Chain A
Amino acid sequence: MRRYDLITPEGTKDYLFEECALKRIVETKTRQLFKSMGYSRLITPNLEFYDVYNLNSRYFPQEELCKLTDNKGRLVVLRPDSTVPIARVVATRLKEAMLPLRLYYTQPVYQFAPSLKGKSTEINQTGIELIGSGSKMADIEVISMALSVLSSVGEKIAENVNFSVNYSLELGDVRIFRELMHRLNATPAQKEEIRSLIEAKNYPALNDILDKIGEHKITNALKKLPTLFGGEEVFERAEEIFQDARIAEILENMRELYHTVCDMNEKGNIIIDLGLVNKTDYYTGLVIKGYLEGYGEEVLSGGRYDKLLSEFGYDIPAVGMAVNVDAVANVIAKKYTPKITAPDILIVAEKGCEALAVKKAVVLRESGLCVEHFLETDFDLAQDYARTRNIKKLILISSEREQEVCIA
């Protein structure tokens, strides 16, 4: 019995007309941007061996992976992320290529979302990876792309369609957290709990667990870590809390970066959050997140991942970011609905004149017009059809003549 033949799996959907057009608008705009910065596109397979994602530096919960087996019974997954397979490609086929490598992609990622929460299993992403450089300029390049994506969300959507969307770009650095945790005397389980509480900015519970561990400089600093977000003032507050040479150096670099980013940015809001500590990240330094007004989650995220490629046997630094195309399209959809335009001309062929009609249509299309064939021969029916479809002009091709009719 076929029970599920008329629906799609939860968390997936068919994109029709306007939805499809919006998605393409976002993809095309970001693609143009990436290309204009010298990035080349690559496509990785939708299927990857599970082993590719079985990493030390990032944990993919197995219940969230879409798993299959190949014809030899080996475990295969629908890619849950695009950065890992790109690391694999670079560490193998591109190992001899000149560095840095600038790569971009536009492809979906798959991760089972919790049921009935309105989240997607299939998320369309577009992103960049800048591989082989650990320099400050590499970080700045990626941040500048993120800013361009965010600031241009409402720009040039279509001819004469421009609107503004408020955005924020957030910068963090996971090394501050790592430094502190490295010096904290606690069990791995406690450390993981502390991390999750910092991530959730759960101040009361964080204070409780740290009080149990003891009261000293490190625990006091960890208590303050999730509160350290906002603008420039964050650095002053952080300097008071972290009196440590290594952390001071990280902060100093970050502050410099923050100023550079503020200088390049014109209208958005740049924020710092020293409490960005996501468990599932392979990030080793800078982390970035982008927010748009009207969307409840980040629409863009990225960072520096200097250890990921070494897991595939090629020890080089890298930095990148990914945009959630569906989220951005969702934000645009609140202010703009793409118009699906009707064809300019409908061609009706009398019986026996099909070849003539096709030739005529080809000529018209070459001049830039959108031409549709009417599939029957009845002229009256064709007029009704054109009216309903909102096609303004009709051409009748018969053996002796060509007749043009304007449809009111």
Chain B
Amino acid sequence: MNKPLRIALTKGRLEKDTVKLLESLGYDCTAVHEKGRKLILSIPDGNLEVVLAKAADVITYVEHGVCDMGVVGKDTLMEMNGKLFELVNLGFGKCKFALATKKDYPFYDGFGIKTIASKYPNVTKAFFENKNMDVDIIKIEGSVELAPLLGLADGIVDIVETGTTLKENGLAVVEDVAQISARLIVNTVSLKMRQQEIENLVKKVEEKIHGKTN
């Protein structure tokens, strides 16, 4: 028997959605449901091994090849910019990056340099570089919505799902930055060294996803 294929899942909602997907493909994920505090779990009938990690760590593990594949949000992929293959858009975990300001704030007016608060400084930098716009970026760890309210920033670049948090705090989306959903990523060497196994799994996953949307 070959070494199992190791797949890293982003803990939390993406993990649940991925396990659901794997189960619908016929894999027995009992071990993942009964994980307790364990972080490496095996799905013996699929010769798979599931590793649970934080989103950014999923990318790190896959990039270094200690995990062959991973499931992670496009948001983290955009922020981290790793060298890996991004094979499948899994369709779940949908949301978007957006630029938001206080409602009716004239963000693009005037000649002054704007200040942007974000948990995602690289995404923010790339977005404004594309517009040839110089901005000051301040990294915020928690509720980014506070920054414009407290007068620290003109706007924020953040993940928007329903927009409720923005609305309740008197903020509004000015512009969408990018659409986000969960991606299946693969290490560049694993795809070549274990092509057959990975392609089989990818094919099954793709059939399932497209079956759902059609």
Contacts and interface: CB of A to CB of B under 8 A. Distances in A.
Contacts of B148: none
Given A168-B192, A168-B193, A297-B189, A204 B89 contact: yes
Interface in A153-199: 166, 168, 170
B64 A229 contact: no
The CB with the most chain B CB atoms within 10 A, among A118, A229, A293, A296, is that of A296
Contact of A202 (B83, B86, B190, B191): B86
A117 B195 contact: no
Interface string B183-204: 0001111111101000000000
A291 interface: yes
B86 A229 contact: no
B127 to A, nearest CB: 15
Contact of A291 (B60, B86, B193): B193
Interface string B53-94: 000000010011110000000000000000111111100000
14 contacts: A168-B192, A200-B84, A201-B85, A203-B87, A205-B86, A229-B192, A229-B195, A269-B193, A291-B192, A294-B65, A296-B63, A296-B189, A297-B65, A298-B188
Interface in B152-178: none
Nearest to B62: A296
B87 A201 contact: yes
Interface string A268-291: 010101000000000000000001
Contacts of B195: 229-230, 271
Nearest to A116: B60
A291 B189 contact: yes
The CB with the most chain A CB atoms within 10 A, among B85, B187, B193, is that of B193
Interface residues of B, number: 21
Interface in B27-73: 60, 63-66
Nearest to A117: B60
A295 interface: yes
Given A200-B85, A200-B86, A296 B192 contact: no
Contacts of A229: 191-192, 195
A168 B83 CA distance: 19
A289 to B, nearest CB: 8
Interface string A116-138: 01100000000000000000000
A140 B193 CA distance: 22
A166 B86 contact: no
Contacts of A202: 85-87
A384 B89 CA distance: 67
Contacts of B64: 118, 296
A205 B89 CA distance: 9
Interface of A: 117-118, 166, 168, 170, 200-205, 229-230, 269, 271, 273, 291, 293-298
A295 B68 CA distance: 11
| Pairs A-B, 7 closest by C-beta atoms | A296-B65, A204-B89, A201-B85, A202-B86, A296-B64, A291-B189, A200-B86
B174 to A, nearest CB: 23
B66 A296 contact: yes
Contacts of A271: 192, 195
B192 A170 contact: yes
Nearest to A167: B193
A166 B3 CA distance: 13
Contact of A201 (B60, B86, B190): B86
B107 to A, nearest CB: 24
Contact of B65 (A166, A273, A295): A295
A331 B60 CA distance: 19
Given A168-B193, A201-B86, 18 more contacts: A117-B60, A118-B64, A166-B193, A170-B192, A200-B84, A201-B85, A203-B87, A203-B88, A204-B89, A229-B191, A230-B195, A291-B192, A294-B65, A296-B64, A296-B187, A296-B190, A297-B65, A297-B83
A113 to B, nearest CB: 11
B84 A273 contact: no
B191 A201 contact: yes
Contacts of B66: 296
A287 B189 CA distance: 16
A298 B195 CA distance: 15
A297 B192 contact: no
Contacts of B86: 200-202, 205
A118 B89 CA distance: 28
Contacts of B192: 168, 170, 229, 271, 273, 291
Contacts of B63: 117, 296
Contacts of A291: 189, 192-193
B34 to A, nearest CB: 30
B105 to A, nearest CB: 30
A297 B188 CA distance: 7
Contact of B193 (A117, A203, A293, A297): A293
